[in-house]
Amino acid sequence: FGPMIQIGEAEDEEKPKFASLRKDQSIQTITFQEAMDLFKLPRTLGEKEGEEVVVGIGRFGPYVKLGKTYASLEEGDDPLEIGLQRAIELIDAKKAATATRELGEWEGEPVETGRGRFGPYVKHGKTYANIPKSEEPASVTLERAIELLEAKRAGVKANVLRSFEGSDIQVLDGRYGPYITDGKKNAKMPKDQKPEDLTLEQVQQLIAEAPEKKKGGRRRAAPRKK
């Protein structure tokens, strides 16, 4: 994960040790003492709630860790000097930022806000809707969350070009144009027909003739050359 410092050789009895450089360090300018200091990490700062608080350097830079919660160090924080109190502040801030907040109920289910891999969101049942970057998640009300969820639903419905009564088969507007699906198999739209011209019998036949979805499996390793 980027430039590293190594102590020892692979041929030695003891395995060599490695330490990642910080983002503000470079191979060209790092001193011997600065390099040796990196091997002091990760280090334990103390405990909170019966778990160790640890500081270290990872793939995305210096961090503090408590259980499964990781928080990046901010500008001005030194992993070699940071104390337990400051580390706990960063961890608590990370927990607060990622915690879900219940806004109320809608249609018999709770509406929540949270922060995930792709940013802040509102959630209702199995439906997720992104919160615009121009809006502060903490200020989102139940009414605003419902607006975002309804817009998400409308967007999903907009992809449905045709439904067939008494059947799970639908014609959807996909990335490469309209296609027919029953949720398990997909069939191509006949080029000479429009979604509104199709009958239930036609789409049932097209689904029946469509190939099964390919299941992902492990690739067999090629035999070693003798």
**Tens digit of each residue's pLDDT (9 = 90 or more) over 96-105:** 877 788 999 9
178 and 193 share one domain: yes
13 and 91 share one domain: yes
Give pLDDT, residue 89.
Answer: 95
147 and 189 share one domain: no
Single out the residue in 57, 78, 95 at which a domain terminates.
95
59 and 41 share one domain: yes
Which tokens is 213 given? 């979805």
Single out the residue in 140, 157, 174 at which a domain terminates.
157
78 and 124 share one domain: no
The three-state DSSP-derived secondary structure of 138-200 is: HHCCHHHHHHHHHHHHHHHHHCEEEECCCCCCEEEEECCEEEEECCCCEEECCCCCCHHHCCH
Question: Is 66 part of a structural domain of the chain?
Answer: yes
- Single pTM value for the model: 0.47
Mean pLDDT for the stretch of residues 117-146: 89
145 and 183 share one domain: no
Question: Is 218 part of a structural domain of the chain?
Answer: no
Minimum mean pLDDT range among 79-93, 173-187, 194-208 = 173-187
Quick check: 221 pLDDT over 70? no
Structural domains of the chain, count:
3
146 and 193 share one domain: no
40 and 90 share one domain: yes
Question: Is 221 part of a structural domain of the chain?
Answer: no
Q: What is the DSSP letter of 76?
A: T
Question: Is 30 part of a structural domain of the chain?
Answer: yes
Question: Is 55 part of a structural domain of the chain?
Answer: yes
72 and 9 share one domain: yes
Q: Which residue type does 161 have? A: L
45 and 69 share one domain: yes
- State the residue range of the domain holding 83: 4-95
With 0-12 / 13-18 / 19 or more C-beta atoms within 10 angstroms meaning exposed / middle / buried, residue 71 is buried
